[in-house]
């Protein structure tokens, strides 16, 4: 039974920790976020002790919520911080009374949405917002966050401390989200979730479990946005569609040796039909208005990537990249557009288009040129692949590039 406990509790921790913390933060306020986290941590510690000795209860999740609720009520009765700082707020009518406090589905949903908007604080850098989202909204440990960022744990600890301090001092009210507040921060929220997803999808970490977890957590949080009328916007749906399309190909993007599998070499049988269908569903909802955002364009590009049989798909993809690069330029967007350009017009015109970018310090630039030169000039292709190897920090990318060099040398 102890073995079952050791398997079940980590799963429940990842699923329920952030929900429980969000509800308690909504009750206490962000100033007492650590108190909320302590109560939830103590709940899981008690579960470890009790379940190991007495076995797993019939409804483990309900057991956790009951213990957390009892611990919270005990805290509200006996800890001085409640008497001096929280009790006044509770009796002033600004939030729910103690007797109304519960872990019901509506409370959890509202609290999670509020916490998303609290964590996406413009006072913090984008990297800090992602770290906070991983820790507070997703239940990631400092070590897991460090793994995802390829950073030292001490670096992540310092970043989180500063970000949490800004969060506590922001006086952001999560008890009752107002429509004006949502409109003010929604762009920041969408941007943070977009970056969170990209940390997983374009992960430089060799930990494949962390990579998939980052993507699935970003999808879970985006789903919360689409389930609330105030945040169920066309941009939210477009972002969720993009995540579903991209995630559908995750299992095909790396082989058992940890090497990156190029798009054209991916086993399409490994693509998730369910996620593609979900992407289609949210893309339809995203196109219900006249708005065209970067998320719409990227979702459209990702849609065409999951449609392997259309002969004109690269023309459609290039048109979308032409629009995207005007909305928001980035080196990766420019390189991806050049790849699509080469698929439409040929490798030699693609080489000329790529060289206009002048991204000589970018590993993906040299990787693209290596691919484009491979058919006509083996020496140049190998030279660019070698330059890409020198510039990338990703072990998986290095392996893939070496494989391409070895293929050309045969």
Cα torsion 259, 261, 266, 269: sign: positive
- 3-state SS, residue 103: coil
Looking at the structure, tell me whether residues 291 and 333 fall in a common domain. no
Res 387: pLDDT:
97
Helix ranges (DSSP H) in 248-330: 273-286, 294-305, 313-327
Res 84: pLDDT:
61
pLDDT tens per residue, range 42-64: 999 999 999 999 999 999 999 99
Q: What is the pTM of this model?
A: 0.85
Q: How many CA atoms lie within 13 A of 112 on its CB side?
A: 26
pLDDT tens per residue, range 198-247: 888 887 666 676 678 889 999 999 999 999 999 999 999 999 999 999 99
Q: Give me the numbers of helices (H) and strands (E) for the chain, helices first please.
A: 20, 0
Burial class (CB in 10 A: 0-12, 13-18, 19+), 3: exposed
Confidence of residue 88 (pLDDT cuts 50, 70, 90): low
- 3-state SS, residue 207: coil
Lowest mean pLDDT: which of 65-69, 101-105, 227-231?
101-105
Choice between 151 and 40, residue whose per-residue pLDDT is larger: 40
- 3-state SS, residue 221: helix
Looking at the structure, tell me whether residues 79 and 118 fall in a common domain. no
Last residue of a domain, one of 203, 232, 261: 232
Res 211: pLDDT:
79
Burial class (CB in 10 A: 0-12, 13-18, 19+), 170: middle
Confidence of residue 139 (pLDDT cuts 50, 70, 90): confident
**CATH number for the domain harbouring residue 400:** 1.25.40.10
Res 99: pLDDT:
44
Q: How many CA atoms lie within 13 A of 195 on its CB side?
A: 18
Q: Is the pLDDT of residue 95 over 50?
A: no
Last residue of a domain, one of 283, 309, 335: 309
- Calculate ∠ Cα 312-318-322, nearest 5°: 150
Looking at the structure, tell me whether residues 57 and 114 fall in a common domain. no
Q: What is the mean pLDDT of residues 160-180?
A: 82
Looking at the structure, tell me whether residues 52 and 116 fall in a common domain. no
User: What CA–CA distance (Å, rounded) separates 214 from 274?
Assistant: 19
User: What CA–CA distance (Å, rounded) separates 221 from 218?
Assistant: 5
User: What CA–CA distance (Å, rounded) separates 49 from 61?
Assistant: 16
pLDDT tens per residue, range 356-377: 999 999 999 999 999 999 999 9
Looking at the structure, tell me whether residues 99 and 112 fall in a common domain. no
Q: Is the pLDDT of residue 146 over 80?
A: yes
Looking at the structure, tell me whether residues 210 and 255 fall in a common domain. no
Looking at the structure, tell me whether residues 8 and 93 fall in a common domain. yes
Q: 30: which residues sit within 8 A by CB, 6+ positions away?
A: 118, 167, 168, 170, 172, 174
Contact by Cβ (8 Å): 200, 214: yes
Res 376: pLDDT:
94
Confidence of residue 97 (pLDDT cuts 50, 70, 90): very low
Confidence of residue 94 (pLDDT cuts 50, 70, 90): very low
Q: Work out the mean pLDDT of the chain and round it to a whole number.
A: 88
Q: Which residue range is the domain that position 323 belongs to? A: 317-410
User: What CA–CA distance (Å, rounded) separates 63 from 204?
Assistant: 38
Res 169: pLDDT:
82
Res 351: pLDDT:
97
Lowest mean pLDDT: which of 187-201, 289-303, 329-343?
187-201
Looking at the structure, tell me whether residues 286 and 381 fall in a common domain. no
Looking at the structure, tell me whether residues 297 and 321 fall in a common domain. no
Q: Is the pLDDT of residue 101 over 50?
A: yes
Looking at the structure, tell me whether residues 82 and 116 fall in a common domain. no
Cα torsion 391, 394, 399, 403: sign: negative
Res 92: pLDDT:
46
Q: 133: which residues sit within 8 A by CB, 6+ positions away?
A: 116, 119, 120, 192, 193, 196, 221
Res 205: pLDDT:
67
Looking at the structure, tell me whether residues 336 and 408 fall in a common domain. yes
Domain count, the chain: 4
Last residue of a domain, one of 198, 214, 232: 232
Looking at the structure, tell me whether residues 224 and 255 fall in a common domain. no
pLDDT tens per residue, range 278-293: 999 999 999 988 889 9
């Amino acid at each position: 039974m102890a073995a079952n406990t050791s398997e079940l509790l980590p799963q429940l921790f990842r699923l329920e920790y952030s929900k429980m913390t969000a509800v308690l933060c909504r009750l206490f306020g962000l100033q007492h976020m650590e108190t909320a986290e302590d109560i939830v941590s103590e709940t899981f510690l008690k579960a470890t002790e009790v379940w190991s000795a007495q076995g797993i209860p019939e409804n483990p999740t309900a057991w956790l919520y009951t213990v957390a609720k009892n611990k919270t009520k005990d805290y509200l009765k006996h800890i001085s911080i409640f008497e001096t700082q929280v009790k006044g707020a509770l009796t002033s009518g600004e939030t729910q009374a103690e007797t109304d406090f519960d872990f019901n589905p509506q409370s959890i949903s509202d609290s999670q949405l509020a916490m998303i908007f609290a964590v996406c604080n413009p006072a913090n850098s984008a990297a800090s917002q992602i770290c906070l989202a991983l820790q507070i909204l997703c239940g990631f440990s400092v070590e897991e966050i460090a793994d995802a960022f390829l950073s030292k744990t001490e670096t992540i600890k310092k970043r989180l401390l500063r970000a949490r301090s800004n969060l506590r001092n922001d006086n952001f009210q999560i008890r009752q989200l107002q429509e004006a507040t949502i409109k003010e921060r929604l762009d920041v929220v969408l941007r943070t979730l977009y970056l969170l997803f990209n940390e997983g999808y374009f992960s430089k970490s060799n930990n494949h479990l962390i990579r998939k977890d980052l993507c699935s957590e970003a999808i879970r949080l985006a789903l919360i946005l689409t389930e609330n009328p105030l945040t169920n916007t066309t941009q939210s749906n477009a972002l969720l569609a993009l995540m579903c399309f991209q995630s559908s190909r995750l299992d095909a993007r790396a082989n058992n040796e940890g090497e990156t599998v190029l798009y054209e070499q991916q086993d399409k049988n490994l693509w998730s039909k369910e996620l593609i269908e979900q992407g289609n569903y949210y893309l339809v909802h995203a196109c219900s208005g006249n708005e065209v955002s970067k998320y719409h364009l990227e979702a459209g590009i990702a849609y065409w990537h999951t449609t392997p049989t259309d002969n004109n798909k690269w023309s459609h993809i290039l048109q979308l990249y032409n629009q995207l690069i005007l909305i928001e330029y980035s080196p990766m967007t420019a390189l991806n557009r050049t790849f699509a350009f080469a698929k439409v017009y040929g490798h030699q015109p693609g080489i000329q288009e790529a060289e206009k970018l002048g991204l000589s310090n970018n590993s993906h630039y040299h990787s693209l040129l290596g691919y484009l030169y491979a058919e006509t000039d083996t020496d140049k292709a190998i030279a660019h692949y070698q330059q890409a190897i020198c510039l990338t920090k990703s072990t998986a990318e290095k392996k893939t590039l070496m494989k391409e060099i070895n293929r050309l040398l045969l």
